[in-house]
Structure 1
């Protein structure tokens, strides 16, 4: 005697509803944040006739340059599974070093040496996190205080001006190519280079693999310590480029010029992780995240909303965006509490 079993097949309407539900969630996961960005842009365009103009668009791009560079560099560290709290102060340090060196080494020498200093800061951070086995938060917080003290020592609390005759250097931050500001072009070039590095190179893939599962990466033969250190060097390098552009824009270095970029960078990185349904930090998402934050700031300023309200809105948007991404990925087990 043989026994037969029959599978219970859900009614076609029920199966179709589940399929549509999955498709809807997939659509929201991929395009939800971008839809929010577009809707907010349309709202401000309705509230202010000056918002949807080429001039305002250029102003937004120009104002976000340094923050975008800092955020893109931080993306590599977060993708590797760590944090870098020293990126804002690194901007200030590189800015000061550039302004101090240009009178002695010329523009090219000052920029090169300042970028080397940035890479050394990143290298020290990376070595502390890996071989010294310190937490990324603790080690980079310590570096932030160290660099803050060095910045005060180098400047005595005063700004360091760049000579008016440094026309070529000032062009980096103040020049224009037709209607486009030259630093916007630099930002585009750095983004393209960083995107290729993150998506088309061994370094980018290894950094992502370490961030996804460091133990699996280790047993796969990936040198985990090396690529975590590389991510910190890249973070400091991008921040250093931002520091040089900041010095050129203002024709001086301020002793506390870059500290405000830290929180913006973290907000942009985690907001950008929700864009295109990635769920993980990526440079395109980070760049769009920075643009969204500065677009909101510009729109709120045009309609007369106070700075405190703008800060409140940015915080709520970040929490809601990341929370929505977590909700859409609720089937995954949540095990990271750092």
Structure 2
């Protein structure tokens, strides 16, 4: 689905690339982190709302729009140590830093030496981006609308005691006002092929490898299926990701790479061909722990670049992003 996906999901990650970044504590009580920051981005997209592209004169490659956004992070956990159970609420740090503001309410359960299984509800977070209700309209002010997602996520970390981890997320995508037909000469039947409501499924599988003291690599695959009401917007996606993490003293460095493609089900009626796409994202994040001498406070800076190259120029997308902030871990 052309919502800067998977750019929006992978544009930047942070924290350790190691699977055990969030082991279940051995004592009862609350744990987690809160953070605040700011990001400055230049986003080129014909679907996401941008203050500078409310009106377009052609259906070609989108222009870039600069935007500054607050970056808010919450990862709240409560542990029952005796049963090895942990309840979680919020978005993990790496989710927020890669522009995936999905919130999760769930539970994690350690199963002896066989790893940690988890289940949770996922829903749109406070950073959710608006989209254009009528993205194809020309020479008129386009109307904005909310895009919401709700669903479930199942995961298994350190599968059977190995370094493999996997999760699958199923979501329902809903736009308050899907009005893609407005501004086109398409019939009702053809316009229905552009409907962006529907369901998405994403599967992640990764392998976490500590190849030297303090150095971690996590190669993985990402497979997606986007079953939208509009069949010209439905697609299957597949990609490869590689996360690197290094921790030394007061510093943690992570770098992230994603490359993938999307294959669409049907010809787009507005452009006469399928909007098949190739995606590329690279990012890096540096954290400085014990900031200003406070043991639980860390500062971070990050940068990322992502590009989505579609066979239909209208669906091209590009993100350039830098950010900084502070985080408190408890």
- Structure 2 length normalisation: TM-score? 0.28
Structure with the higher fraction of residues in helix conformation:
1
Identify which of structures 1 and 2 has the higher relative contact order when contacts are C-alpha pairs closer than 8 Å and 6+ apart.
Answer: 1
- Structure 1 length normalisation: TM-score? 0.27
